[in-house]
Structure 1
């Protein structure tokens, strides 16, 4: 996948926020997996001090509004979201996600968020996503 200079800077900024080797390994594993999927499109985004990667299963998705997934770096973990478009497009119901990831948190927005602390967490998430992507 090719990125603009601005997007590369956003990715570097996100990775720089990670303070542990476990979180950095999780980031690299998630990026490697995401970039290797032909049907997954990445949109690095920065707003102020906030940098995140939004992901969509549709190449013509709007970089934020239409993306089914997102993650950001947060010191010792990655924060992953199953975003509203994920549920709106009928990929799975929230009950399936919560059943698989009991540690996940359902937000007031209806989105589901969870922390990925290490590569094991990323591998588990990727195996789950593989069943639909």
Structure 2
């Protein structure tokens, strides 16, 4: 019975960590979009589309995507079962994702760095602490 409880705890921890990253990502994205003249003109060209409506769409997409990733990482944590090793793996994967983003986008901005830091903390530190 303990293995089932540990598995449920790890999966729920992944879900919670994914939700944390999702809401933080939406806040970061809306902040970056509100500060960017390019995004303001893009949204203005769509008519009278309010920024909160864009936020609703972003929240739905972000919650689905990040919680799915959180559940997958929670399942991976069940197999690894070592918080330090899991955290190092997650931080390495985040670093690889940041390097790939820098290569594809030919540079990084504050929103990417903020999202990477939040994801590294939530999945590399918070998930193992909650699953602990």
Is TM more than 0.5 here?
Answer: no
Relative to total residues, which structure has the larger strand share, 1 or 2? 1
Relative to total residues, which structure has the larger helix share, 1 or 2? 2
Larger radius of gyration: 2
- In the superposition, the TM-score normalised over structure 1's length comes to 0.29
- In the superposition, the TM-score normalised over structure 2's length comes to 0.29
